[in-house]
Structure 1
């Protein structure tokens, strides 16, 4: 004969039926969870805490539900948002999320899986790091000396679903203390498996605020959504915000919106179950007429529920957490998981694009899509010392389906900016039929972390797979070098930048390139580095022309920097440099180009230019009696003069470049030089103009012999030190001596 069910069992079975939850009413030995047993180690991190958390300090004993109340029930009158009362943990972000789904039986079904109330065993599910995870707990709860639960509870003393789900969520995170402080949108994702986002609130009456209102009142047809918000205030500690009844840094659930007599209103709830907004439209405010109370079902009670005008809401809240839940009947999800590690932890595409994880998204028909990137949250590891890293993603059309080397911001359909340390970032967009490449990365290179890529579409005709290997689809050239001695010349703030290593880049055709500079140093020893890509100087293996072909990026000490762009066929000079001079170190240059754009890989080359090292130099100064100015003045021959000898064994003529650099370009002197035959006044050559820049150069074809060079200022009696250099093929045996 079957046992007669009690009223509480019938109540549980009725709610369980709505939840599709398995209920086991058999009796037997009480279940004790061996992996989350009562004790300090599941309350807080003993290795880190020297002070017992305030809520934990109130714990006196651990009690079964039947020891807390003679008639314990999982649910009383079903599940309602008003059931939730916050306890001794600062986990309003989680309770606010729980409150948002408190009336959504379709979402709660995923959480409550199994219960055996007579044996104290419960099983729930959470969406942990991208997958649903079952969590089994017993019903022992931390209580105070009076036998009352210390942490969150239900408003009804004999209802316990809130306490149990909080305990199960704490088990996922390792300790109860780990639940202190978090983001409501993260908890909403863990409870629903949805995709999170945040929306800026905007100031009252602004376009941003009006667009937000339109979003709040619009009922999406193909998905459901849950929303919450946090009152941030002025950032000075916790407590009440400007005597409004709102609490700073406290999470609230958004229950609904309404318009009454033209006034836009929003309904919120405090997880505490008390402490409410006290301004216009609050409980008991003069705005409430009898008709208004009836229309909006308003009851004056200290239950944490309150209305406020939308303008007041915009004045006190900065952003809304929103999670969109996509029903499996209407949406298809594709997932890829992996880890940034080793070469694939290449950092944002400002640094090194090619090695980062990339995925081929093949869309067979136009559709609405959600593209999300999620990292493994540090909170789920149970290690409070870990922090989320800054993550981002790029999405570009890829007609061939091959991996992409160059992600150009103006061509990206998705281009993360700014990079944030959120657990998940997501973009909502319409995708046309076609092939796309999705790349996921951390902001900084060398940061290792697990990740998950999710793509949802409102149809099933698409696939998400790892992008094909780049091998065969691109040509990669590499060169190594170092900054040492004179070649550790620093940036173009001084004329010595020309002494940095210079590399010749030969392009046979117009090519889309990615040029990457990686310095070889430990993070704490890295220097700020950059890349100058400059035009070749008269086909020489070096250049003095600081006119970048591609604009250099920001100086960085992240270890790697990348320069990207399309170049015409021809010869270029790559100059890797540190920002500060006299900064020694070694580096590698990598150049990537698509094989399909090359007429012949053999015509694509990179080599170390030697021209900027084959020079002779002499130092001098313009001083009283030897500062005669340029050849506009008769005194020009009184300038310092130097003999330039071009070796007789150099052939019929030698290509010689003369460089004159003043010691203090900030003084603004215009400088140049003149060339004559030895002991002659006839000018054979000169600079094209007298320059106020870092230096002035001119190149000549000179026959073997001796010449005289006059470095000059434009005007007489202008004084400064200078350096004079002559560049030529070493075989020419060019020398400079004071005449």
Structure 2
């Protein structure tokens, strides 16, 4: 990353070019690429600023990019200063600062970690105006800068075309998100839901979506997201209390033609003072709607959990902080741990975890899957799998896996879902609980993150299956194995790239080795050189090296893997590999973790044992054989003599006893 001659930062990883705009998703954006120019904020407006003076002026407006889902999720940052500072770190150089560099850094929560994304402030424009997202106050640039960082995270702006509000909320908060579909559920559940929204309106981001076309609400659009900016209980002229919701359309224009539009008849039930008070608070693109009509014309409501000053996520139902967070990474691996749903006899093969609950507490169990591709326009059912999670209460000392899994779970997903993250809520009593995450189809390979957030103290640990070992007859110490030992280390700022979840993965050491024609079985062992109580989570992948030298082996899928990463001094894997050249890439799970390591690669070669040509060795073998034969005959001779002695002694005793009996008869 190099500064320009003018001293302003230019990001070579996300250049001001077509490659940063589109990446082949086939959206309408490609038509306008040639007309888009890139300008810095001070080239767009005389006095740019990061945030508006009035928070309401920071409402997002959507441009020509179909990312309403992301813009609506950004309202979470306007509700919580702590979250805003988490995503936008303080102390960045602004346009009015003497040391202004044109560089900004944002953070996003991705698969368990806050990832920093650095960009320059050149923004896409049409006709000298921002063509993507912008704030109601067009002199404020926090939203277009955040949008650019999010686009860089996903590869290009086009990747943000269409997506889930819930996914963006998780990326911006690192927390939990509740979703309600209005087509399901009982009335008392809806009533409780709206009461909770009214209670938390100042602290939580709330959005709603239209997922299906409706005859009477065509102006709302289809597959479109909105932000809920206010909720109020309003008293009508007859004393009836109605729940009113103020909704903002990121298109920035009025699109509502229902009973509560500006000229709608719904306002007639309120006094002129109430009407004036509600309508005076509307900004461009906002409208009011009453609860019953809201449920009728919208399909879904999404709400992020609030966060307190300590950064703890709060249970939206009880208000209690989730003080304990436990997490563990895992993988479904074909042929090993991808057992599928409970419909499959292989369900017990899935990864399994112990959750020890130390006190009665409220628990949220979340399951995240790592998509194969990006989000937005590139994320579909090809990149997300149907996943589920089930929990059983067990007596650990009397634990029987087959019996446990055949019984009803304490809590579980009613059906597997194509979600990047979902959660289960339950209240658990003290003791051990068995957690089994699964995909719907068996042999589905994917990585996942299992998180447990609770109001009490809990511990989460993986139930490690027996380590895969080579058959006893194929001991790697025998001459039929060729053993290669390699030394290496991970060093901060150099080659400690972390796991495949991180863009720095390619920095890890790459150790070449070959598999000969007469070999198929390879055992790889990775040993980290550290104290047992200071182990990093380690693992490795094996990549095939193709003849095409321009193609990086790491760009393809591994030929073999030892995952998930394990907090062990040593991990190993027996692999079946075709003859050829390979790269072994050992890694810690997190980047920037230093440690030395030793890799042992044992390749089994199917060749006949070579007879020794040394006469001394042969002589010793023959002597050993002769001694064994002599020893055998000596043992047999001793045994025969022993039997003869016993027989003679028995004969003497019989003769003596007969003489005694005869003497008695005579007398």
Q: Please give the range of the TM-score, normalised by the shorter of the 2 chains.
A: 0.5 to 0.7
CA distance 1:430–1:136, change in 2 (3 Å):
same
Matched, 1:333 2:325: yes
Asked if residue 140 in structure 1 is aligned to residue 122 in structure 2, the reply is yes
1:67-216 matches, within 5 Å, as 67-77=43-53, 79-80=55-56, 82-114=58-90, 115-117=92-94, 118-144=100-126, 146-202=127-183, 206-216=187-197
Is the alpha carbon distance of 1:384 and 1:83 closer, same or farther for their aligned partners in structure 2, counting shifts above 3 Å?
closer
Counterpart in the other structure of 1:704? none
Contact 1:121–1:136 (CA under 8 A) maintained in structure 2: yes
CA 468–103 in structure 1, closer or farther in 2 if over 3 Å, else same: closer
CA deviation after TM superposition for structure 1 residue 309, in Å: 0.6
- Residue 428 (structure 1) aligned to one of 425, 439, 448: 425
**Counterpart-to-counterpart distance in 2, 1:56 and 1:406:** 61
Structure 2 CA distance, aligned partners of 1:30 and 1:249?
A: 40
Residue 247 (structure 1) aligned to one of 221, 227, 238: 221
1:389 to 2:370 alignment: no
Give the whole-Å Cα distance in 2 for the aligned partners of 1:177 and 1:128: 19
Residue 290 of structure 1: CA displacement? 3.3
CA distance in structure 2 between the partners assigned to 1:453 and 1:75 by the alignment: 36
Which residue is equivalent to 1:305?
286
Matched position secondary structure for 2:107: strand
CA shift for structure 1 position 86? 0.7
Q: Give the Cα–Cα distance (whole angstroms) in 2 for the partners of residues 90 and 52 of structure 1.
A: 10
Structure-2 change in CA distance of 1:158 and 1:255 (3 Å): closer
Q: 1:713-724 to 2 correspondence within 5 Å? A: none
Separation in structure 1 between the aligned mates of residue 277 and residue 186 of structure 2, nearest angstrom: 25
Q: Conserved in 2, the CA contact under 8 Å of 1:32 and 1:138?
A: yes
Shift of 1:304: 1.6
Distance 2:394 2:168 in 1: 35
Flag the 1:377–1:244 CA change in 2: closer, same or farther, 3 A. same
Q: Any conservation in 1 of the 2:79–2:204 contact (CA below 8 Å)?
A: no
After TM superposition, give the deviation of residue 54 of structure 1 in Å: 5.5
Residue number among 269, 274, 278 corresponding to 1:292 in the alignment: 274
1:38 aligns with 2:38: no
Q: What CA distance in whole angstroms lies between the structure 2 residues aligned with 1:104 and 1:251?
A: 21
Q: TM-score, normalised by structure 1?
A: 0.55
Does the C-alpha gap of structure 1 residues 81 and 276 become closer, same or farther in structure 2, counting only changes over 3 Å? farther
1: distance between equivalents of 2:438 and 2:395? 22
> Quick check: 1:366 aligned with 2:360?
yes
- CA offsets per residue over residues 241-262 of structure 1, 9 Å max, x none? 6256422211011223222121
Give yes or no for contact 1:30–1:120 (8 Å, CA) kept in 2. yes
Shift of 1:234: 3.1
Shift in CA distance, 270/204, structure 1 to aligned 2, threshold 3 Å? farther
Residue 466 of structure 1 is matched in structure 2 by: 462
- Structure 1 contact 347–443 (Cα < 8 Å) conserved: yes
Per-residue deviation, residues 423-460 of structure 1 (Å, max 9, x unmatched): 1110112111111011111110111111000100113x
- The root-mean-square deviation of aligned C-alpha atoms, in Å, is 2.9
CA deviation map 1:17-74 (0-9, x unaligned): xxxxxxxxxx98111112111111111114x64x762674474311112211222211
Distance 2:65 2:129 in 1: 14
Counterpart CA distance in 2 for 1:276 and 1:367 is 45
Q: 66-75 or 134-143: which moved more?
A: 66-75
Partner of 2:656: none
Asked whether the equivalents of residues 18 and 33 of structure 2 are also in contact (C-alpha less than 8 Å), the reply is: no
1:259 to 212, 233, 244: 233
For the 8 Å contact 2:338–2:445, the answer to whether it is kept is: yes
User: 1: CA distance between counterparts of 2:58 and 2:143?
Assistant: 11
Shift of 1:211: 4.0
Say which is worse superposed, 377-386 or 356-365, in terms of deviation. Answer: 377-386
The residue number in structure 1 matching 2:261 is: 282
SS at match of 1:242: helix
RCO higher in structure (CA 8 A, sep ≥6): 2
Indicate the larger mover: 206-215 or 299-308: 206-215
- Do 1:82 and 1:303's aligned partners in 2 also have CA atoms closer than 8 Å? no
Distance 1:83 1:225 in 2: 15
- Counterpart contact for 1:281–1:308, Cα < 8 Å: yes
Q: What residue in structure 2 maps to residue 321 of structure 1?
A: 302
Distance 1:53 1:182 in 2: 16
CA distance in 1, matches of 2:375, 2:172: 18
Q: How much does 1:325 deviate?
A: 4.0
Q: CA deviation at 1:165?
A: 0.5
1:104 shift after superposition: 2.5
Q: How far does the alpha carbon of each residue in 1:312-350 deviate from its partner, in whole angstroms, 9 at most, with x for none?
A: 011111221222245445322111112211311111122
Map Cα deviations across residues 531-586 of structure 1 (whole Å, 9 max, x no partner).
xxxxxxxxxxxxxxxxxxxxxxxxxxxxxxxxxxxxxxxxxxxxxxxxxxxxxxxx
3-state SS of paired residue (2:350): coil
Quick one: distance in 2 between partners of 1:57 and 1:468? 51
- Offset at residue 469 of structure 1 (A): 3.6
The structure whose residues are more often helix, as a share, is 2
- 1:227 is matched with 206
**1:574-653 equivalent positions in 2, closer than 5 A:** none
Pair 1:197–1:55, CA change in 2 (3 A): farther
Residues 488-526 of structure 1 deviation map (CA, whole Å, 9 limit, x = unaligned): xxxxxxxxxxxxxxxxxxxxxxxxxxxxxxxxxxxxxxx
**Paired residues of 1:348 and 1:442 also in contact (CA < 8 A):** yes
Q: Deviations over 1:591-646 (max 9, x none)?
A: xxxxxxxxxxxxxxxxxxxxxxxxxxxxxxxxxxxxxxxxxxxxxxxxxxxxxxxx
Query: In 2 relative to 1, CA 52–83 (structure 1 residues): closer, same or farther, beyond 3 Å?
Result: closer
Partner residue in 1 for 2:341: 348
Unaligned runs of 5+ in 2: 95-99, 236-240, 313-320, 468-667
> What is residue 272 of structure 1 aligned with on the other side?
251
Contact 1:283-1:299 at 8 Å conserved across structures? no
How far, CA to CA, are the matches of 1:225 and 1:136 in structure 2?
27
Asked if the contact 2:412/2:424 (under 8 Å) is kept, the reply is: no
Q: Distance in 2 between matches of 1:292 and 1:380?
A: 47
SS in 1 for 2:148: helix
Q: Give the 3-state SS of the residue equivalent to 2:425 in structure 1.
A: strand
Seen in structure 2, the aligned counterparts of structure 1 residues 219 and 65 have a Cα distance that, compared at 3 Å, is: closer
Match of 1:375 among 357, 369, 375: 369
Change (3 A) 1:414 1:303: same
**SS in structure 1 of the partner of residue 243 of structure 2:** strand
Q: How many residues are treated as equivalent by the alignment?
A: 433
Rounded Cα–Cα distance in structure 2 between residues aligned with 1:381 and 1:91: 11
* Aligned positions of 1:648-667 closer than 5 A: none
Distance 1:111 1:409, change over 3 A: farther
3-state secondary structure, aligned to 1:411: coil
Provide the rounded CA distance (Å) in 2 between the counterparts of 1:204 and 1:340.
Answer: 33
